[in-house]
Amino acid sequence: MKRIYILFIIAFSFSSCEKLDQAPRSTVGKEAVFESENGLALYSNSFYDILPTASDILRGDAMSDYIARKEVPDFIRPGAYGPRQSTGWNWSELRNINYFIENNNNISVPEETRNHYTGIARFFRAWFYFDKVKRFGDVPWIGKSFDVNDPELFNGRDSRVLVMDSVLRDLDFAIKHIRTTNDGSRSMITQPVAYAFKSRVCLFEGTLRKYHTSYNLASTADEWLTQSADAAKAVMQDFSYSLHTGGGASQAYRQLFTSKSPITSEVLLANIYDDELALYHDANWYWTSATYGDRANFTRSFINTYLNLDGTPFTSNPQYETMVFSDEVKNRDARLSQTIRTKGYTRINGGNVIASPPEFSYTYTGYQPIKWTLDDTFYDSGSRNDNIIPVIRYAEVLLNYAEAKAELGALTDQDWAQTVGALRRRAGIMNAPMPAAADPYLQREFFPEISNPALLEVRRERGIELALEGFRFYDLVRWNKGKLLEKTWNGMYVPGLNIPLDLNEDGVLDVAFYKSMPSTPVAGVTYINVSDNANGRPNPLVLSQGDKGEIIWLNTIPRIWEDKFYLYPIPESERLINPALGQNPGW
C-alpha cells in the first residue's frame, strides 16, 4: 500500500473483489465503523488505493508522442490490441465507496462530520469515474451498492454527459464539505486538493468537447472550461501554495521529484515512500536499467521545444538541426538539465562522484531522463527509491488555469505573468512575456491547427513542466492529437561516422556511430552500429541521412493511430457477461 497512513489501519480490512454485488468485509460490525468519527476516518483510508501508484505515474507517459522506448506499444501497433487484450473494467473500489456513502447516516455522529467523510468518499468516486470515462467513454453510472440479485447489474452504459455531470456534482459536494484545508503530510485529501482535481477534470472535459466535434457537445465546452478556471483560481487565491524556488533555477524544479519528503509549498498531494517503513518504488531501476522497463527516453522533436534561456525559441537558430548534443543543451530553459542528463550531471558510485553523460546502454536517442532518479547508483538495482511522488502540484493548477483561460479567449497579461511567466522565471527565463506571434516550429511539428500564440505557448509549457508525470497521453486525447503518436522517434544529431563525441564536455569521449567498426577503436567509447542491416535484418537504429543526421529509432515497426483509439475497447470478457454493455466505435 502506498500511503503511510494506511499502514496503521488495523481495525478492519476490506476484500479486493471486482464485482459490484460484493460487500466490503470487515473484522468489526457496521455499527462500530459508522457510529464514530474514528471509524469513519479508518474506513475512508481504504479509498486511497484509487489514486495512481508510483508505477502509474512513472510509466504514465511511456505511450506518448515525446517518448521513444524499447518496443512499440501494442495499443498503436497494427493488429496487436483489441477487446480481448483490453483491461481496466474493475469496479471493486466503487462498491466500497457506495457502501460507505449509503451507510454513513448514523445520527450519533454530527452532520458536519458525516458530510466531511462523505465528501471524501464522493471525491474518490469522482476520481474513479473520471478514470473510467477517460478510458472507456460511456460507462454505467452506479450510485448505490448493489445486491447480488439486483437486475440493474446487467444494465447498459450511461452517456458520458450523465456520468460527467455526476462527477461534477460529487466534486462540488466534496469542495463544500471537506473540512481539512491543510495536511502537512501532503498524503491526504483536503479542500484545495478537491479544487485542484476539479480544475483537472473540467479542463479535460471542456477541451475534449471542444476538439472532438463528433460528440456534438462543443456548445457545452466553455461551461466546463469556465469551471476549470474558477476551481484553479480558488487554489491560487484562497490557499497559500506557491512555486518552489529553493536552490535556485538550477535545482528547484528537480528537487520536487527527488525529495524524500513533500515540498509543501508546491505539492498538494503525494505518494509517500519511506526507508524506515520499507516503502519503496523503482524509479531508478526503471530509468537506468538496460534490461528492466521500457528504456524510455525523449525524442529530439520534443527537446527542441525547450526555450533558450533568453526566452527565444531554440528553433529560431538557423543551425539548430545540425547542432551536436553538447551544444544544443547549452543556455536552455533550466528544466532541461533537470530533466535529462547534460553537461555537469554527476552521480555517486561507492561514495565517488562520477561524471555521467547519457549512457547508450540505456538511451536510444541520447536524451536520458533524470527527473525522477536519485543520483546515487545504490538505488539503481531493484525497488529501492524512497523519494516522494507528487500526484497534484501547484504548477499543474497554474497550467490548468492558463489553458482554460486561453481556450476561452480570456487570458490576460496578468494571468500569463502569474502562470506561464512564473513557471518560466522559476526555470531561469526572466524575459517571458505573453507572445504576440505563433512559433512556427510548434505549429509545424505539433499543432498546425492552432493559431493563438498564447495557447500554443501554454501547450509548450504544459509539455515541459509536466513531462514524465503521466499527463501527456490524455492531453493528446483531449486535444484530438492522437496522430502525434505516429511521429518518428528521433534522437540527437550525429555529424558523421566513427567520430567519437564528448557528450558532456568533460574531456572524455563517450560514443561513436559506425557502419564499419574501426580497426583501432578508442578505449572507453561506446560504438553504436547504424548500418542499414544488423544481424540479418533491418537495423532499428539508423541515421536520418545515412552517414550523418538525427538518430532514427525503431522506424522498422509501424505505429498507427486510428480515431477508435481515443477510447479503449470494452473488454471482451465483460461483454460476454453483460452484452448490454455494447462496444465502443470501431472495436
- DSSP secondary structure code for residue 218 in this structure: G
3-state SS, 537-555, equals: EECCEEECCCCCEEEEECC
CA dihedral of 420, 421, 423, 429, whole degrees rounded to 10:
130
The residues with which 586 forms a beta bridge, in sequence order, are none
> Beta strand pairing status for 526-529 and 511-514?
parallel
Using CA atoms, how far residue 145 sits from 39, 167, 178, in Å, is 19, 17, 23
| Cα 49 to Cα 359: distance, rounded to the nearest angstrom | 35
Query: Own/partner pairs for 416-425, CB < 8 Å, 24+ apart?
Result: 416/454, 418/236, 420/457, 420/458, 420/461, 422/243, 422/398, 423/243, 423/395, 423/398, 423/399, 423/461, 423/465, 424/307, 424/311, 424/333, 424/461
In one-letter notation, the amino acid at residue 126 is A
Find where cell 538541426 sits.
Answer: 321
Whether residue 37 contacts residue 109, with contact meaning beta carbons closer than 8 Å, is answered with yes
- How far is Cα 426 from Cα 565, in angstroms, rounded to an integer? 37
- Do β-strands 537-538 and 533-534 pair in parallel, antiparallel, or remain unpaired? antiparallel
Question: For residues 72 and 554, what is the distance between their CA atoms, to the nearest angstrom?
Answer: 8
From 181, 227, 177, select the one nearest 200 (Cα to Cα). Answer: 227
Amino acid identity at 318 = P
Pairing of strands 297-298, 490-494: unpaired
Q: What share of the chain is helix, strand, coil (3-state, %, to 5)?
A: 40, 10, 50
d(CA 367, CA 351): 26
- How far is residue 2's CA from residue 129's CA, in Å, rounded to a whole number? 21
What is the reported pTM? 0.95
Question: Quick one: which of 460, 248, 445 has its CA closest to 337?
Answer: 248
List the grid coordinates of 273: 515512500
All structural domains of the chain, each given as residue ranges with its CATH number in brackets, are 1-50+92-141+158-186 (1.25.40)
Question: So what's the pLDDT on residue 30?
Answer: 83
The answer to whether 108 and 32 have CB atoms below 8 angstroms apart is no
Hey, what amino acid is at 306?
Y
Q: What are phi and psi of 550, to 5 degrees?
A: -70, 145
Per-residue pLDDT of the chain (587 residues; tens, 9 = 90+): 444 433 333 333 333 334 444 445 444 578 889 999 999 999 999 999 999 999 999 999 999 999 999 999 999 999 999 999 999 999 999 999 999 999 999 999 999 999 999 999 999 999 999 999 999 999 999 999 887 778 888 899 999 999 999 999 999 999 999 999 999 999 999 999 999 999 999 999 999 999 999 999 999 999 999 999 999 999 999 999 999 999 999 999 999 999 999 999 999 999 999 999 999 999 999 999 999 999 999 999 999 999 999 999 999 999 999 999 999 999 999 999 999 999 999 999 999 999 999 999 999 999 999 999 999 999 999 999 999 999 999 999 999 999 999 999 999 999 999 999 999 999 999 999 999 999 999 999 999 999 999 999 999 999 999 999 999 999 999 999 999 999 999 999 999 999 999 999 999 999 999 999 999 999 999 999 999 999 999 999 999 999 999 999 999 999 999 999 999 999 999 999 999 999 999 99
Helix and strand numbers (H, E) in the chain are: 19, 13
CA dihedral sign of residues 54, 133, 49, 154: negative
pLDDT score at 151:
82
- Return d(Cα 522, Cα 501) in angstroms, integer: 11
One-character DSSP codes across 331-400: TB-TTGGGTB--TT-EEEETTEEEE----TTT-SSS--B-TT--SBGGGGSSS-B---EEEEEHHHHHHH
Q: Which amino acid is at 221?
A: A
CA geometry: angle at 397 spanning 393 and 401, to 5°? 165
